[in-house]
Chains A and B, each alone.
Chain A
């Protein structure tokens, strides 16, 4: 079993899983704090259109690996989608309907464009539900860079991002750059989604951001402890899920999310049963 750790593919899968498991709950904590837990779902849909656009661009450019530009395309589209959503949220009028159109348009055009670019159903499923078993060293280094950015900014600006997501009006009265910090949250959430997409796919990407936070909330009543505990849980869930799929022919992304949901139910039942006081 230990010898498997020397396999390059296993190393790549575990490394990407660890990074995503640590980074996703950081941004998930801010989204839950702002009561926008489903934003990840929406941006994931838009990111799929970016995958497809990148795929088309890769085909047109004649790259040997057709999906070489898929992840960069997803990053660009996800950030653009997040910026649009944030601007509409700040404006506060009719945002939900426009967001819904953006999301549905994203996934529908993504599916169509991948078809145009010559992608197969298998390729599509890889992006919808994750395809960590095909991860390359290039993917690993891209994930390392993006995850490092998320962790450095997400943890480094924790106090300011907490202030803005907790009480925007008070934060504005203190002179904090509220609009800038809101945009930082939106853009980092978009980057998180494109990194996590490789592990769990666009349809489950939000779960990796939110489920560890939901479990942590059952166990602690402090913002910072919730964030750190969620990071630990996210890493443990992704590593456990990936490790199980080394031995069992299961879909890693779905397994990770199901493990998270099972853990949530167990912890919720245990805390409800014991009614332990929270500190």
Chain B
């Protein structure tokens, strides 16, 4: 596992989002959502389908612009440079392209871009480490999620759990200080879930903040410090995680309309999943 770097400063929160509003195709999806996460804190972002969890995470990582509200990262307004210090694991292999790609190639792509410094365009394209070191770093990241033997396998032919581990390795290879994961347990086998819990525990020990979108707390229960529940684009609960296992047990859960589908998001151009 790549060793997470020690925090550079010690701001009160790694991420502080206040009254964030997001509109997609003229429809407001998030109606003033707030969230914070500190060093070593694991925050579960929960809610039914269409509650806006994924939209919120995508907004925090910069994939969707917020129409109102404030987002601070590492104690300062969120900029592209600050966002480069984040790790992001999308819901699934969102853009598995038309050409096959090995796990090693996908993970190595995580070493591009900047990491919070003011790297120019050339620096961002060159990436975080020299090209000769990328393979070694990527192999270590794959090892940290338990699949070093799949390095040369085509991602598109892997199981859902294996694909998810590749995406986690791609995020971890950057040594993020704050990690966002969008439903990493969805459709994942038990072995991968156990490995995933181990990985999150290791990151937590090293002070990495984690915001994780979940339907069910499951094997992560002992790691989660706080649960934030979204319903129809609003926070209905922010506090200790429930003793019970699912989002249905949380205060504020709408039992009348728990799984309404949302209006289509503006993700079509990117080929992305909706909230």
Contacts and interface: CB of A to CB of B under 8 A. Distances in A.
Secondary structure class of chain A's binding surface, majority of residues: helix
Contacts of B113: 171, 174-176
A182 to B, nearest CB: 11
Interface in A119-163: 157, 159-160, 162-163
Contacts of A171: 109, 112-113
Nearest to A176: B113
Interface stretch (A31-39, A42-50, A188-196, A239-247): A31-39
A226 to B, nearest CB: 5
Contacts of B197: none
Nearest to B119: A175
A105 interface: no
Most buried by A among B86, B96, B99, B110: B99
Nearest to B134: A159
Given A91-B269, A221-B154, A223-B105, A173 B99 contact: no
Nearest to A167: B95
Interface residues of A, number: 41
Contacts of B153: 221
A260 B100 CA distance: 20
Per CB-CB distance, the 5 closest pairs between chain A and chain B, nearest first, are A92-B269, A174-B113, A175-B84, A221-B154, A33-B97
Interface of A: 29, 32-35, 37, 89-93, 157, 159-160, 162-163, 165-177, 180-181, 213, 217, 220-224, 226, 278-279
Given A169-B90, A222-B100, 16 more contacts: A33-B98, A159-B127, A159-B131, A159-B134, A160-B125, A166-B101, A166-B106, A167-B93, A168-B271, A174-B110, A174-B174, A175-B81, A175-B84, A175-B119, A175-B124, A222-B105
11 contacts: A90-B269, A159-B134, A169-B94, A173-B62, A173-B84, A175-B80, A175-B115, A176-B124, A221-B153, A222-B101, A223-B100
